[in-house]
């Protein structure tokens, strides 16, 4: 005589199937880049000229583990009402999302600086861009060599 499904089997089967269906597309999309770094930078700055200078990016040149890389971005600015940093953005070349972070600031921020941890999928170039209150964009870049990558599905 065949066994009839009981409530526990039905719930376990339904939950397992739902988890498989729900998680499969997420894992597949996690490694697909939605836009290039250049496209992400253009989305941030539009057609404005991006000049080198005023921005300082501090990150380790050799990263042992890409899961949590500490970066600090500072911008030379008096942070006054007339001259301050509006936004700071960080971009990368190889992670699934090109725009790592965008921070909005104002003159009352006191200091034009951010510090955070990011994940790095591989050895790559990191670019920081700051928009000042006069509508100008300033940037700098740094390379990070990653020995143990993060952000990769395998």
Q: How many other CB atoms sit within 10 Å of the CB of residue 41? A: 20
Q: What is the pLDDT of residue 34?
A: 81
Alpha-carbon 150 to chain mean position: 13
Q: CB–CB of 79/120 below 8 Å?
A: no
Residue 66 lies in a domain: yes
Q: Is residue 14 part of a domain?
A: no
Number of domains the chain is built from: 1
Task: Indicate yes or no: pTM above 0.95.
Answer: no
Is there a domain that residue 13 lies in? no
- Average pLDDT rounded to a whole number, residues 71-89: 96
CATH at 121: 2.60.40.2470
Whether 109 maps to a domain, the answer reads: yes
In a domain, 67, yes or no: yes
Q: Which helix (H) or strand (E) holds 26?
A: helix 7-30
Q: Which range of residues forms the domain containing residue 54?
A: 37-146
Question: Predicted confidence band at 60 (pLDDT cuts at 50, 70, 90)?
Answer: very high
Q: Is 23 within the bounds of a domain?
A: no
| pLDDT tens digits for range 5-32 | 666 665 555 555 544 444 444 443 445 7
- The answer to whether residue 99 is domain-embedded is yes
Q: Which residues make Cβ contacts (< 8 Å) with residue 115, sequence separation at least 6?
A: 70, 71, 72, 73
Please indicate, yes or no, if residue 116 is contained in any of the structural domains: yes
């Amino acid at each position: 005589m065949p066994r009839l499904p009981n409530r526990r089997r039905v719930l376990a089967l339904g939950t397992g199937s739902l988890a498989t269906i729900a998680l499969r597309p997420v894992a597949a999309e996690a490694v697909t880049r939605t836009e290039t770094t250049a496209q992400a930078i253009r989305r941030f700055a539009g057609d404005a000229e991006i000049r080198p200078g005023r921005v300082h990016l501090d990150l380790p040149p050799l990263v042992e583990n890409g899961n949590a890389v500490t970066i600090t971005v500072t911008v030379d600015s008096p942070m006054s009402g007339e001259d301050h940093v509006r936004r700071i953005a960080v971009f990368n070349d190889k992670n699934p999302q090109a725009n790592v972070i965008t921070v909005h600031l104002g003159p009352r921020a006191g200091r034009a600086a951010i510090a955070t941890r990011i994940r790095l999928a591989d050895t790559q170039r990191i670019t920081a861009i700051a928009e000042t209150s006069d509508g100008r964009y300033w940037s700098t870049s740094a390379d990070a060599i990653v020995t143990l990558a993060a952000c990769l599905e395998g």
